[in-house]
Amino acid sequence: MLATGFLCALSLNCAAAPEEIQVYIDDITEPGHVGADIHNNYVVSGSTTPAYPGNIPPNGVYRLTPEIYYGVNKNLELGLYTLSSYGPNDRASYDGEKLRIKYIADHNEAMGPFWGANFEFGWISHQFAEQPWNAELKGIYGFRKGLWLFAINPNLDWGFSGSTSSPVALSIDTKLSYKVWPDCALGFEAYNDLGTLNELGHLSQQSEMLYAVVDAESKYFDLNFGVGWGLTPASDNLVLKMIVGLRY
């Protein structure tokens, strides 16, 4: 799967877009099967000011993140990300790796509600994360009604290095789409940072991104393409993302 996404930092100085911009739903690999996602995103217009010493500003940065995942059983999936980027002045780099485990509860896949959770842990280059070791716990909830799909992901993110750690940050990602053809849907995705748990709010100082998206699927692959606009001064101005998923 080719995935793309973009997000900013939790301050007026934007950090580079994240390695993955995706609202998680109830998709999960069949037991014993392997899939591949490659997350891509490109910040067409964003901040040119580093968010912290050593940070790469997001403007003009392209991030490529291949992911391999394996279906353990009908409810559990394991994944491995490898992160890389390419930026201004022909700067190319390898930026780390992350492991993830996703759980999706039994549910009706054609209609009604679904829920689950995803946990990620790994190392990210100081160019993109002030704390190199990072973790994220993502809640997954949504439902289908007719041709409509709605999903929401509350996310808790934190970083740490040695004996120090950063405050836990909260963000909310949402998706609303409508099937215009059996294998194609149009919709919107929103990625909203709310700040750290000890200081929520100040939304004008957080990244708030809205994407218009197209989702298409076939027997062997699926596609998510989006164009995102920043809604606050702390957001990237314009971001392109694409996710292509391959099934084996």
Looking at residue 88, the DSSP 8-state letter turns out to be G
- For the record, the structure tokens of 247 come out as 């099934």
How far apart CA 64 and CA 2 sit, in angstroms, is 9
How confident is the model over 74-89, as pLDDT tens digits?
999 999 999 999 999 8
Looking at 17-21, 57-61, 224-228, which range is the least confident one? 17-21
Does residue 221 contact residue 29 with C-beta atoms inside 8 Å? no
pLDDT attached to residue 16: 54
Residue count of the chain, please give it.
248
* DSSP secondary structure code for residue 80 in this structure: E
Token pair, residue 102, equals 């996703």
DSSP 173-199: EEEEEEEEETTEEEEEEEEEEEEETTS
What domains appear along the chain, each with residue ranges and CATH number?
Answer: 2-247 (2.40.160.40)
So what's the pLDDT on residue 202? Answer: 83
Q: What is the pLDDT of residue 17?
A: 74
Query: One-letter amino acid identity for 67?
Result: E
Per-residue model confidence as pLDDT tens digits over 151-196: 999 999 999 887 678 899 999 999 999 999 999 999 999 999 999 9
Q: How far apart are CA 239 and CA 61, in angstroms?
A: 10
Q: What is the SS3 assignment for 82? A: strand
CA separation for the pair 155, 133 (Å, rounded): 17
Q: What is the pLDDT of residue 128?
A: 94
pLDDT for the residue 166: 87
Determine contact, residues 193/17, Cβ cutoff 8 Å: no
Q: Is 32 left (phi over 0), alpha (psi -120 to 50) or beta?
A: left
